[in-house]
Structure formats: C-alpha cells, structure tokens
C-alpha cells in the first residue's frame, strides 16, 4: 500500500518529447533535473545534476563538476548523427565512447547524452548534457521509478502520469515500504524516502 504520494501538477500540458523540451531544466521537489534527449513517447528520461555543454573543434573541451567531482569533457570527433566524447577525471583516468544523437551512455561514471551532433567541412560540433544520474519515469500505469543506465528499479516507488510524455499534466510519485518487514514506522525508528 502507498504510504504517501508526491504530486507534480503542470498548469498546462507539457510535451516532453518536443525538441524544445529536450535539454530543458525541470525542478522537482527542490532538485534540478534536465530532460534527456532519450525521452520518447512512453518514457520521460531525466538527468539529475546535469550540466549543458556546447563543444566544437575550435573549443573542444570543458571543465564540469558532477556529484562534487571534477571532470574534463572533450569532443574527439563528430558526425551528423553521433559524437565521440572523452571524459577525464581529476586523477587522470580517461574513457572515450561514441554516443548517438538522442541517446546517452555512461562514460567514466558520468552519464553523457548528445542532443545534437554536426560535421561540416569547417567545423565539428556537439551539444552535450553531462549528468550524474539517469532517472526514467514511464507513462505506463503501475510503473516504478528506474535509475541508472541499466534502468534499475527503485524499490518502494511507483509513478503515474496524467497524459503521456507528449501531453503531461500531472506526475504522481507513490512511496511504499519495499517489503512487509519494513511496512511500519515504530517509535524511535525512521523510514527513508526511496
């Protein structure tokens, strides 16, 4: 059974699948999220603690801070449909991966989403969203909140949307005890919001 609901109500229907919504910031319960380019007709994909970066062959790297850690994000190459991105942490560890437009990948522990990649004779460019944590909310009734690149279920959660991701008017997050051994809050104990 649901212990409590946390509800977000929009004053008008929001189309999270529209190009103008992708990359936009959204504040939920005091936390900042960025609408990821991987959002589609049935899933609202958010990046928590995200930074937006525009990189070109003339200005190919940027310093960011994600989850309190410093990283350098570098554009290695790009095509009209993907960008190859290199991430370096403060200790000098590096990892490079190709990320398609409207998709994301975990690179050295940082979720990197590419919203736009371009290649011309004169310049390479990419618009990137770097975020610490990917959160997926499904418009399918009875869904749970999913976290990370592997869409791990957050136990003790449910999510429902009024309207789909193309016309969202309300999102309701339900919180419940993940198992029957923890379905009560006794004196001197606590319940951790998942």
Give, for 134, the enclosing helix (H) or strand (E): strand 133-138
pLDDT averaged over every residue in the chain: 89
What tens digit of pLDDT does each residue of 135-161 get? 999 988 889 999 987 889 998 899 999
Instruction: Please report the pLDDT score of residue 10 as a whole number.
Output: 95
- Cα Dmax for the chain: 68
Instruction: Please report the pLDDT score of residue 132 as a whole number.
Output: 64
Task: Kindly report the pTM of this predicted structure.
Answer: 0.75
Specify whether the CB–CB gap between 159 and 138 falls below 8 A: yes
Q: Can you spell out the DSSP letters for 122-133?
A: S-EEEEEEEESE
Mean pLDDT of 102-106: 82
**Would you say residue 67 has pLDDT above 80?**
no
How far is Cα 148 from Cα 78, in angstroms, rounded to an integer? Answer: 25
Range in 91-105, 125-139, 180-194 with the lowest mean pLDDT: 180-194
| CB contact set of 164 (below 8 Å; sequence gap of 6+) | 41, 42, 139
| CB contact set of 62 (below 8 Å; sequence gap of 6+) | 53, 55, 72, 73
């Amino acid at each position: 059974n649901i212990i409590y609901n946390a509800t977000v109500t929009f004053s008008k229907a929001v189309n999270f699948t529209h190009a103008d919504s992708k990359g936009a910031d959204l504040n939920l319960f005091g936390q900042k999220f960025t609408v990821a380019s991987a959002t589609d007709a049935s899933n609202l994909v958010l990046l928590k603690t995200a930074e937006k970066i525009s990189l070109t062959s003339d200005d190919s790297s940027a310093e960011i801070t994600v989850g309190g850690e410093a990283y350098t994000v570098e554009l290695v190459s790009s095509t009209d449909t993907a960008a190859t991105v290199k991430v370096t942490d403060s200790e000098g560890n590096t990892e490079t991966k190709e990320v398609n437009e409207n998709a994301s990948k975990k690179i050295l522990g940082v979720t990197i989403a590419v919203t736009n990649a371009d290649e011309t004779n004169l310049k390479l460019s990419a618009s990137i969203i770097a975020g610490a944590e990917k959160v997926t909310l499904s418009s399918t009734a009875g869904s749970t909140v999913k976290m990370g690149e592997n869409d791990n279920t957050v136990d003790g959660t449910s999510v429902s949307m009024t309207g789909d991701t193309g016309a969202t008017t309300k999102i309701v997050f339900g919180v419940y005890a993940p198992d029957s051994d923890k379905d009560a809050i006794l004196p001197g104990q606590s319940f951790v919001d998942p």
